[in-house]
Amino acid sequence: PKDPVKRLLYAIRRRRERKTYLTYQKPQIPNVDATVTEPYTPDTGDYVESIAKSGETGLTGDVTLTGTGTTTLTQVGQNIAINSTGGGTPATTVEDERNWGITPVVGTSTNYARQDHTHGSPADPGGVSAHAILDGSVHTDSVADGVTRGSLIYGNATPKWDELVIGSTGYILKSDGTDAAWAAPNSAVPKTDLYTYINVKAAVTDYILINRLYQNETVTTFDGQPDIPRSASVTIIPTLGSTPTGTINIAGKSADNASINEDVTINTAVPTTYETNRAFAVITQVQVTVSGGTAFYSVGMHDRIGVSNYPLNATTDVFKINLNALHKDPTGYTISATYGTIDFDDVAALIDGDDIEIWVRPYT
């Protein structure tokens, strides 16, 4: 109205209708302070109780977001603290935790929710507390287990994440179509190994060590070595009226270069030749331990031929042998599946110059 009195009355009436003494608009100009001292209800329904702003470095105050309870915001640099008392707890979505340090204090919880996990503050990215990958607690889909060198994580039958401890030396990881497990290497496709030994020597009782006094000693220097992987022999010649006892340990390498050793037990009053079960490609040490008696001893090589240190799965793994280019009947030799040897001494011992061919199908 143009009339001043009417304008005053109109303003008083509008003020009573709006129930406010000051209309607040968000300041757009930096460093401008503004305070709302009475309730203000804009058309959007937002409700502002009290806000105080001072400068550009700090913002403090109580803001009612839900209509019940209050939420306090405190900003220091890039750190924002959110605290809610009473009423509902506001949800907080972290848009980019890499760029913002956020320490929410919402209700009684000190965590914020993420879609893939539950974490503590970015200052402590370990989560609620430090925990193992396989802790069986924070990670409810795992068993409780620690860290072991070489282990793998796999899904067990429960199913839960579990530890698969490293397998034995030389083992490989295999599948049975359901689970993974360590197993000795097998040939998925059957194969045949051919062992060819040319110009083999006959058994010689003193080829390695010749006529030594039977006494406590460790020998590492030898008169000879086996011509092919074959069993060793120990020959004892007792002195008159004596019964020597004790052990002679022979150590060395097998046909596949594995370390092996074997004890030969001595107990005889007459000349006796003992034979080892294992076949030695190389002999590295002979250790004599005397329990009693006097004698002389020699170490030689015998007639068990070695094909592998690994036990054969069955005696049928050795399925053909040629001796001097002629098929040798299985009755002419004995196979040891345990020691991986073929013994030619049962029917006809080896003689100098023999050529031997052995067909083996291992690990099938």
What single string gives the DSSP state of each residue in 256-301? TS-EEEEEEEEE-SS-EEEEEEEEESEEEEEEEEEEE--EEEEEEE
Q: What is the pLDDT of residue 69?
A: 59
Do β-strands 282-292 and 217-219 pair in parallel, antiparallel, or remain unpaired? antiparallel
What's the pLDDT at 357?
93
Residue 322: predicted pLDDT:
92
Q: Distance from first CA to last CA of the chain, Å, rounded?
A: 108
User: pLDDT value at position 143?
Assistant: 84
Q: What stretches in the chain show pLDDT beneath 70? A: 1-2, 4-6, 8-9, 11-131, 186-190, 309-310, 346-348, 362-364
Q: How far is CA 46 from the centre of its chain?
A: 58
Of 156, 158, 137, 134, the C-alpha closest to 146 is: 134
Short-list 333, 329, 364, 314, CA closest to 193: 364
Burial (CB count <10 Å: 0-12, 13-18, 19+), residue 163: middle
Does the pTM surpass 0.75? The reply is: no
Residues forming a β-bridge with 299: 209, 234
Query: Contact, 333 vs 321, CB < 8 A?
Result: yes
Domain ranges of the chain: 4-119, 131-185, 188-364
Spell out the residues 6+ positions from residue 229 whose beta carbon is closer than 8 angstroms to its own. Answer: 254, 255, 279, 280, 281, 305, 306, 307
pLDDT of amino acid 299: 98
Contact 336, 350 (CB under 8 A): no
pLDDT the model gives residue 162 = 85
What is the reported pLDDT for 181?
86
Nearest 5 degrees, angle CA 314-CA 319-CA 320? 150
3-state secondary structure of 1: coil
